[in-house]
Amino acid sequence: MRATILHKGEQLIVDFSAPIDISLPLTAEVTNPTAWYLKGPEIVPVKGDNFVAEVAKGGFVNFRTITFNPHAHGTHTEGIGHITAAFNSVQDAIRTYYFKAELITIQPKISKGDMIITKDHIIDALKDATPEALVIRTRPNHKEKQHKQWSHTNWPYLTQEAAQYLCKVDVQHLLIDTPSVDKEKDQGALLAHKAFWDIDNLPRMTATITEFVYIANTIEDGDYLLNLQVANMVNDAAPSRPILYTLL
């Protein structure tokens, strides 16, 4: 289904018939991706003295308890409350749910044993575009990203300068296919998080970072309409389901 919508004064023709889900599902299987040195999620039926809440085992209903960490177990969106002493829920950062987005693919640069995404990478990929939302797909982009155990892998990350540039050009929503925009082991420096949210100057209370997405190689770089669906959890971060729609 094609539809013409008015987004911030601009007419966009959107193909709503083929949504592109770039989130990772949360499962109790060993194939669920993990990070930050935690074991996988648990999804278990509630048990009582005389019952198990699982239909396959004689229960009347399936009634399961889910234990997981938003940051470590899949696609999630976080707000500035992720790094502030004061409590700020990610729900307070999300005011609207549709954004014009740019998908770019970057081959990180090797520097001192790290894989880094630089300011020049972003400028070269965006050219003169200044999208509301930026989706970064890193290379190599193997399917194993959907199931990878990321702990102790030193994944690609944004340099402080790159994050400062995104703040400068007012990218409000940053999405990336790694567990964090920052270096895995940085002794808590969190340089990219702090720069993107401009924590030391004019903190950007409505900017968000979405991590742990996955974008298949069949999806072309370019302009999209992003629907950023965030679970209504009062926390610094919550599971999310970003959906891309092709612009015609």
In a domain, 49, yes or no: no
State the burial class of residue 142 (Cβ atoms within 10 Å of its Cβ: 0-12, 13-18, 19+): exposed
59 phi and psi, to 5 degrees?
Answer: -75, 160
In a domain, 93, yes or no: yes
What's 118's domain CATH number?
3.50.30.50
The pTM of the full predicted model, rounded to 2 decimals, is: 0.97
Contact in structure between 174 and 126 (CB atoms under 8 Å): no
**Inside any domain, residue 6:** yes
Report, as an integer, the average pLDDT of 76-102: 97
Determine how β-strand 10-21 pairs with β-strand 237-247: antiparallel
The answer as to whether 61 is a domain residue is: no
How far is residue 5's CA from residue 47's CA, in Å, rounded to a whole number?
49
For 139-231, where are the alpha helices, taking DSSP H only?
A: 160-168, 191-196
For residue 220, is pLDDT > 90? yes
Owning domain of residue 120: 2-24+70-247
**Residue pLDDT, tens place only, 99-139:** 999 999 999 999 999 999 999 999 999 998 999 999 999 99
Q: What is the 3-state secondary structure (H, E, C) of 196-246?
A: HCCCCCCCCCCCEEEECCCCCCCCCCEEEEEEEEECCCCCCEEEEEEEEEE
Residue 84 lies in a domain: yes
In a domain, 58, yes or no: no
pLDDT, the chain, mean: 97
Sign, CA dihedral 87-91-95-99, equals positive
**Number of folded domains that form the chain:** 1
Task: Please tell me the predicted confidence (pLDDT) of residue 156.
Answer: 98
Residue 85: its pLDDT value, please?
Answer: 97
Task: Give the other-Cβ count within 10 Å of 61's Cβ.
Answer: 10
Q: Residue 49's pLDDT band (boundaries 50, 70, 90)?
A: confident
